[in-house]
């Protein structure tokens, strides 16, 4: 898991450094829906996305891995505009 977290953090940091834009979001609250009444395949749509950053914390000496924390960046929380239009 640590290698995945490290990869996500590195990609997010690279995007911020190269473009000045954060690309890491936490999706909260999902609506399950179907394309049509006859559809068997359900779909999930997030209700909100929250801009976050992933920070590497202290090394856990016993486990030999770093602890990671998700922190809110303070930017606007974004509602799912596409879902709003679809439901209208």
* E strand map for 2-86: 25-34, 42-60, 65-72, 78-79
pLDDT tens for each residue of 4-19:
999 999 999 999 999 9
Average pLDDT, the chain: 92
Phi, psi torsion values for 9, nearest 5 degrees: -65, -45
Supply the pTM of this predicted model: 0.79
Give residue 55's pLDDT band: very low, low, confident or very high (50, 70, 90): very high
């Amino acid at each position: 898991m640590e290698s995945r977290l490290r990869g996500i953090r590195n990609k997010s940091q690279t995007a911020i450094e190269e473009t000045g834009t954060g690309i890491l979001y936490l999706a909260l609250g999902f609506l399950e829906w179907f394309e049509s009444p006859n559809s068997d395949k359900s779909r999930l749509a997030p209700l909100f996305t929250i801009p976050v950053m992933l920070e590497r914390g202290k090394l856990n000496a016993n486990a030999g891995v770093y602890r990671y924390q998700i922190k809110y960046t303070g930017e606007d929380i974004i509602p799912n505009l596409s879902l709003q239009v679809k439901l209208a």
